Structure 1
Amino acid sequence: MAVLNIRVDDQVRDELKDMADAEGVTVSEYVRDLLMAALVPGYESKEDHGDLPAPETMRIADRQVLSLLHRILARVLPEDNDDVDGDAAYQLGRARVIEAGYTGEYWREVAGFSPELSKRDCGRVLDILDMFRVITFSIRRLEKDGTTVDEDLKYKLEFRGFDGNDGLENHMAHYVEFLMSDGRWAELHEQWSNNDEGNSHSLMLDTYMRMVAEHRRIKASRDRGFHREDYLLSLDELQQIADARVHPSRRG
């Protein structure tokens, strides 16, 4: 494995140390993860974000717990139940599969379950939503103050959701739906709806992360204020974020 030495300001080193400590990893591990995210965003394989594969075996303790839960459900479900839990016979059948150890039928226990969306990827989604919230409020304030924001620029700065055909991005899209389901991120609901309910039909994570990186650079260059509007962006700053959509290798 190659070794890379870099020089950073003391402040940057201290902030990296704090962030690494918060994650419970070394600075080296934290920086390596950041580099991987920048160079290979969304590197997780697609199959890691579909349904969980059926377990090939289970511990006897897990089988006992699952069997007991199925038998409890069989006794408490209404006789005319027709939802995903089925009826008593269905639950008793599930219990018998577990008790008899029919491993070929274990898939029933994980059907519909997805692998975990990592803390890192959940954080990426929140960072993206936060950036688009700031962008949306910034455009509204500029237009309220009489500044014309070009339609092309507004289009480039619109939240388009994630690619429904990509395993990781589709998982992220479902996370956004969950976050929005209780009214959060209301300022982005219209953009989400206008873009096929958050299906961008093209890969967006790489683009979003470049925009987020530029947004972070803009925030880092400012003095931290305390007014609720101190986070709003100028027209030039909005253009900087829009320009970051294009990969550096393709910029003129």
Structure 2
Amino acid sequence: MATVTIRLKDETRDRIAEAAEARGVPLSDYIREALEVHLTLEQAGEVGADRPDNAEDISMTPYERKVLQLLHRNLLATKGGLTESYYDEEQEVRAIQVLENGFAGEYSQEFADISEPMTRSECELVWDIFDMFRVIQASVRGLGKDGWKQVKVEDAELHGTFRGFDFNDLDEIRLANYARHLVKTNRWTEQKDAFSRENDSGNSHCQMLPTYRAMLRVFKPLWRKAIRGSISRHYFSAEDLEQVLLAAPGARTSKA
């Protein structure tokens, strides 16, 4: 086997070490398996295909974000593409007066439209959730037209369908905004209906993150096992699907 030397941030190395220890495997085995999983996802053409290619963790200050935002707005304006929702003449005049006069107490208003940034780990959580439901849906289709009936879980289709996020929860609304952005930019487009008006624009009206996390804890090991075994493109058997769905709080095995 070939040997490759890589440089990692201390924080990244510590996270990998903790994950390897939690699974009870050597650090090198964990890294090798993670790379194999990543390559398989890239080759799958479906799962993982919508994730950004750039893995570099880039951070920006509110000032840097504001400058880039204004540059993009100016570009839209020069092409006649700046909509009314992005332009308030009175607000712009007030901002100019504040800056020209140096009213330091008003400076924060310049960043009123710049929200707290989402961390890369938060973004990856949304990717993981979307990929999990992509695998679930593809697997059910692979079982045939009565696929959901083969999964011995009560309300299997309900548990196996992405149901949005709780807009009354500060953490979940942030994830919902990013999830909606992904769908609008033509990624994970199979979730478009989840954000439709009929589905209240993706508002689940109850916390869903604990459910998704519980399902992911079962899904990820099964997915690693599935791709190591080079199974068919439908990924999971009915039994695998049952394990993932039963991880959702409140899910129960069907009596039939």
Aligned to 1:50: none
Matches within 5 A, 1:71-150: 83-87=85-89, 90-144=91-145, 148-149=149-150
Q: Secondary structure at the match of 2:167?
A: coil
Q: 1:182 and 1:222, CA in 2 relative to 1: closer, same or farther beyond 3 A?
A: closer
Q: 1:165 and 1:221, CA in 2 relative to 1: closer, same or farther beyond 3 A?
A: same
Aligned pair partner of 1:207 in 202, 205, 211: 211
Q: Distance in 2 between matches of 1:127 and 1:6?
A: 19
Alignment-mate amino acid for residue 218 of structure 2: E
Alignment-mate amino acid for residue 86 of structure 2: V
Structure with larger Rg = 1
Post-superposition offset of 1:226: 5.7
Greater CA drift, 237-246 or 102-111? 102-111
Q: Distance in 2 between matches of 1:180 and 1:147?
A: 25
For each residue in 1:119-146, what CA deviation from the matched residue of structure 2 results, as whole angstroms up to 9, or x when unmatched?
Answer: 0000000000000011111112213377
Q: Secondary structure at the match of 2:185?
A: coil
TM value normalised by structure 1: 0.62
Aligned to 1:8: 24
Tell me, yes or no, if structure 1 residue 155 matches structure 2 residue 175: no
Post-superposition offset of 1:183: 2.7
Q: Distance in 1 between matches of 2:214 and 2:108?
A: 39
For each residue in 1:103-162, what CA deviation from the matched residue of structure 2 results, as whole angstroms up to 9, or x when unmatched?
Answer: 332232112221101000000000000000111111122133777346711111111111
8 Å CA contact retained: 2:141, 2:147: no
Q: Distance in 2 between matches of 1:138 and 1:144?
A: 12
Post-superposition offset of 1:223: 5.2
8 Å CA contact retained: 1:136, 1:187: no
Matches within 5 A, 1:191-202: 191-193=194-196, 195-202=199-206
Greater CA drift, 142-151 or 98-107? 142-151
Greater CA drift, 167-176 or 140-149? 140-149
Q: Distance in 1 between matches of 2:204 and 2:223?
A: 27
Q: Distance in 1 between matches of 2:181 and 2:215?
A: 23
Alignment-mate amino acid for residue 131 of structure 1: M
TM value normalised by structure 2: 0.61
- Unaligned runs of 5+ residues in structure 1 are 21-54, 248-252
Alignment-mate amino acid for residue 28 of structure 2: D
For each residue in 1:195-243, what CA deviation from the matched residue of structure 2 results, as whole angstroms up to 9, or x when unmatched?
Answer: 322111111112101111211111233353667x435211111110111
Q: 1:18 and 1:121, CA in 2 relative to 1: closer, same or farther beyond 3 A?
A: farther
Post-superposition offset of 1:189: 2.1
